[in-house]
Amino acid sequence: MLVGQKYPKLFSPLDLGFAKLKNRALMGSMHTGLEEAENGFVRQAAFFAERARNGVGMIITGGIPPNVEASGHGVKLSTPGEAEQHRVITQAVHAADADVKICLQILHSGPLARTPDCVAPSAVKSRIGAFVPRELDEAGIEKQIADFANCAALARSAGYDGVEIIGSAGYLISTFLVEKTNRRTDRWGGSFENRMRFPVEVIRRVRAAVGPDFILIFRISAMDMLEGGLAWNEVVALGKAVVAAGVNIVSTHFCWHEAFVPTIATMVPRAAFTQVTGRLRKELGVPMITSNRINMPQVAEDVLARGDADIVSMARPMLADPEIVRKAAEGREDEINTCIACNQACLDHTFSGRMVSCLVNPRACHETELTCGMVAAPKRIAVVGAGPAGLAFATTAAERGHKVTLFEAGNEIGGQFNLARRIPGKEEFDETLRYFRRMIAVRGVDLRLDTRVDADALKAGGFDEVIVATGIEPRVPDIEGIDHPKVVGYIDAILGRRQIGRKVAVMGAGGIGFDVAELITHAGISAALDIDVFAREWGIDFTNHPRGGVTGVKPQVASSGREVYLMQRKTDAPGRTLGRTTGWTHRLALQRRGVQMVSGVDYLKIDDAGLHTRVNGEPRLFDVETVIVCAGQMSLRKLYDDLQARGVKASVIGGACEAAELDAKRAIDQATRLAAVI
Ligand code: FAD
Ligand code: NAP
Ligand code: SF4
């Protein structure tokens, strides 16, 4: 068993009486898309077993609906035949480590189910739901409860050690709890006692169906982050009631999916919400799970040491690095590939119906297909450019046994990630560079910094393969006055190499334009590094815990006082290309700092007077002191063309390959896939 001397709390067992957890590290539930995929059970088995082999104490599966109306994508667990299919998962996990527990999450999406047959206590459509749900009658409620119990019993028959029932986030159970979605006047609505009857009855019937020696976890909404959400005394009353009805472990959840408060994005401080779990833990007297932005072992240890929880859930961190627990136990935390909370390959994919993976670990959920075995005949490979693409390629190829030399023109690794990490709210990007720095050493990559190489030098080097990962250069739009002294490129702006005026036009409202606007309007400490600042900026009251955690608290955002215009030529609303689950946070944050978004801009010229434009056809002068250009990028692929001309075998990856719609997710994925087969 892994021991973990530096993290005594994290690696201490937890005795539930009838079952023992070997440590306090939980892989929280994530819907990955493997649930619906072809060969999905085998792929889930490989996905979970890899985490089980590497030390996690307990795993919770992605949410599985107990019936058709709870789902929308066809997957459910309501028959013995369906239960049989799950055996491959439970057997693989227990074969990987018999001490690891695996629980099935029962997810009834209620009004968020993607089916016109979706149900709810009242016919109230969610802001983010696809359909108006059908109001359940008494018989319908009884059917839903019976289906929960049936699903739990089937989970037990399939070899699971327990079930988690999700009672939060805007799914069925939580819609019974809150008045805005429960307008009933019968015994299932009205008073809080009536509104919590449904979850309590579900738990009572599930416990009766599975017997006493089966783990039963209830995910409670500790802070709905919603006007009209649960008051603190209601959260406590509900917690006590579900414990009395048979729950062994309570897991706290924060936020309905439709709320306007970020709870897991990279701008959220680490472990920002665990204090709420700690407060509830004092009331309930059962083991408690906490979660959200706990991405390194020391963070988990501190949470446990403070008494905020008994078990720490790390969901996305287990996508980013399946070995996170093992590395913590072995004192190799500097080798952890840390989740940077970008959501780009996980939650953004979930919400757009795509298979989940991870920006920093493209193998996540692709374990059976993207393998990186040792090579029989190692090659000498030159990699040019130590941005995300070059780094991912070099470290993966070296892991497979190749002899890799990595050339970087700059004096540090990282490429554009060195710019990204300077944006307030993106501090986590530092961790990726720390990881790659360490992997370069561990895997024996020969790193040559301050070395700009050309095709002749590479040809003379006699490498078996050359990988061109030279990235991009910023696009310089062809506008009169683009060389005026008030024009600044985004690289100079981010690195602080040029003075930025008080009145600024940001030309280009893509990801980088938004980041630059964030940087130049920011004041004070980054909210991502200070829970109090974060709470003020998003109107959360951790101290008094008003209804929903937020009601009546006005967000307060410090600003640099600059007057900033964020512009684009397109006529639609700026920010459409930002991440699906995080874009709104960036738009809202900039709006609160007074940044003015201007669409439909024709750039005419820049001169001493400012930026001359036509906005939706009307002439308009922006009398700004600085114009920051964030107008996209062009591939830097001259080196590749030169190599081709000299007959040197070369491949091109990342931004050098294709600049349009480039991001680090695509760069790392492409690089890893090439390194896996070369
Ligand atoms: P680059 O990162 O451009 O790296 C290329 C490297 O090659 C550079 O280090 C360069 O010095 C080196 N090089 C070039 N020519 C030579 C040569 N001849 N010899 C030796 N070395 C050479 N992406 C996301 O996915 N999510 C984000 O949130 C995000 N935020 C961003 C924020 C900002 C402010 C910026 C600027 C970018 C952001 N990106 C983000 C984009 C992401 O950083 C890029 O997509 C990614 O860095 C591209 O990787 P790359 O390796 O292809 O190229
Ligand atoms: P981008 O998202 O493609 O945005 C480029 C911007 O420049 C657009 O607003 C575009 O809008 C404008 N533009 C394009 N050509 C122009 C021209 N000739 N003259 C003036 N304006 C022009 O690219 P980016 O902002 O440079 O970001 C690069 C990549 O990094 C992005 O693809 C993104 O994925 C990634 N990134 C991601 C994040 C994130 O949070 N996920 C953050 C930063 C960067 P109009 O054509 O309408 O003017
Ligand atoms: Fe974490 Fe981003 Fe990977 Fe999701 S994609 S697991 S948020 S690093």
**pLDDT tens, position by position, 457-516:** 999 999 999 999 999 999 999 999 999 999 999 999 999 999 999 999 999 999 999 999
Q: Is the pLDDT of residue 4 over 70?
A: no
469 lines ligand 1 (CB under 6 A): yes
Ligand 3 pocket, Cβ-based, cut-off 6 angstroms: 316, 319-320, 339-346, 358-360
Q: Which long-range contacts (CB under 8 A, 24 or more apart) does 233-239 make?
A: 234/177, 234/192, 234/196, 235/280, 236/280, 236/283, 236/284, 237/192, 237/196, 238/167, 238/177, 238/196, 238/199, 239/280, 239/283, 239/284
* pLDDT given at position 227: 84
pLDDT tens track for 168-216: 999 999 999 999 999 999 999 999 999 999 999 999 999 999 999 999 9
Percent of the chain with pLDDT over 90: 94
Residue 308, ligand 2, Cβ within 6 A: no
Given this model, what pLDDT does residue 3 score? Answer: 67
Q: Quick one: pLDDT at residue 593?
A: 94
Tell me the whole-structure pTM to 2 decimals. 0.95
| Known active-site residue 7 | no
DSSP 2: -
Q: Please check whether residue 633 is in contact with residue 473, taking contact to mean a CB–CB distance below 8 angstroms.
A: yes
**Mean pLDDT across 86-104:** 98
pLDDT (tens digit, 9 = 90+) per residue, 635-659? 999 999 999 999 999 999 999 999 9
H or E element at residue 505? strand 503-507
pLDDT digits (tens, 9 = 90+) for 272-319: 999 999 999 999 999 999 999 999 999 999 999 999 999 999 999 999
Whether ligand 1 lies within 6 angstroms of the CB of 511 is answered as: yes
Pocket perturbation via mutation, ligand 3, pick of 343, 351, 429 by most ligand atoms within 8 A of CB: 343
Q: H or E element: which one contains 597?
A: strand 596-598
The tens digit of pLDDT for each residue in 159-172 reads: 999 999 999 999 99
pLDDT in tens, 560-583: 999 999 999 999 999 988 998 999
Rounded Cα distance, 135 and 116, in Å:
12
Instruction: Please give the average per-residue pLDDT across 591-597, as a whole number.
Output: 95
Distance 633 CA to ligand 2 centre (A): 8
User: Ligand 2 in contact with 509 (CB < 6 A)?
Assistant: yes
Contact 112, 124 (CB under 8 A): no
Residue minimizing CA distance to atom 8 of ligand 3: 339
pLDDT classification of 84: cutoffs 50, 70, 90? very high
Q: Which of 7, 160, 171, 640 is catalytic?
A: 171
Give me ligand 2 centre to Cα 137, in Å.
51
Q: How many whole angstroms from 339 Cα to the centroid of ligand 3? A: 5
DSSP readout, 545-596?
--GGGTTTPPP-------EEEEE-SSSS-TTTTS-TTTHHHHHHHHHHTTPE
Q: What does the block give as tokens for 555?
A: 């967000």
Does residue 229 have its Cβ closer than 6 Å to ligand 2?
no
Q: Is the CB of 568 under 6 A from ligand 2?
A: yes
Per-residue pLDDT tens digits for 437-474: 999 999 999 999 999 999 999 999 999 999 999 999 99
Contact 176, 121 (CB under 8 A): yes
Helix (H, G, I), strand (E, B) or coil at 628: strand
User: Is residue 630 within 6 Å of ligand 2 at its C-beta?
Assistant: yes
Q: At what angle do helices 583-592 and 511-521 cross, to 10 degrees?
A: 40
Ligand 1 nearest-atom number relative to CA 266: 28
In the prediction, which pLDDT does 5 show? 82
**CA–CA separation, 474 and 595 (whole Å):** 23
Q: Choose the residue to mutate in 630, 636, 665, 668 for probing ligand 2, maximizing ligand atoms within 8 Å of C-beta.
A: 630
Q: Can you tell me which residue has the tokens 């136990």?
A: 329
* Cβ atoms 132, 52 nearer than 8 A: no
What is the average per-residue pLDDT within 432-438? 98
**Residue of 476, 569, 571 with the most ligand 2 atoms within 8 Å of its CB, for mutation:** 569
Cα 258 to Cα 358: distance, rounded to the nearest angstrom: 23
Asked if residue 295 lies in contact with residue 264, where contact means CB atoms within 8 angstroms, the answer is no
